Amino acid sequence: MTLLIIRMKVIPEKRMELSQAIASLIVSIRTESGCERYDFCQSIEDENELCLLGEWDTLEDLKKHLESERFRILRGALNLLERPYDMTFYTVFSPGEMEGDLTGAHHRSS
């Protein structure tokens, strides 16, 4: 699985406009091939700190998304930000994919 994280700080007066634009796009992004999850979050400390979280089956699926018309529209909406967004992605392994079986591991505390 590949995890996409986009962190952003919106101009306070544009928060509602950006939130509405992203909310309308998320519905269709979630239908893209390989998209397992796509969420839009707001910080509890600062309502102008926003985050998009996407889970993709493969890195190839994520690359297709980043080249898509939907992502181009999303990038256009990000012009409402106070500063450039920060985009990071990670390859994530589930415990079953890791070498050795961790399900039988025991933790002992003293």
- What is the per-residue pLDDT for 39? 96
2-93: which CATH architecture? 2-Layer Sandwich (3.30)
Mean pLDDT of 77-90: 90
Cα(50)–Cα(41) distance, rounded to whole angstroms?
Answer: 6
Residue-wise pLDDT for 5-49, tens only, equals 999 999 999 999 999 999 999 999 999 999 999 999 999 999 999
- What is the per-residue pLDDT for 103? 46
- What is the per-residue pLDDT for 97? 59
More confident residue, 99 or 49: 49
Instruction: Strands of the chain (E only): list them.
Output: 2-9, 35-42, 49-56, 86-91
> What ranges do the domains of the chain cover?
2-93
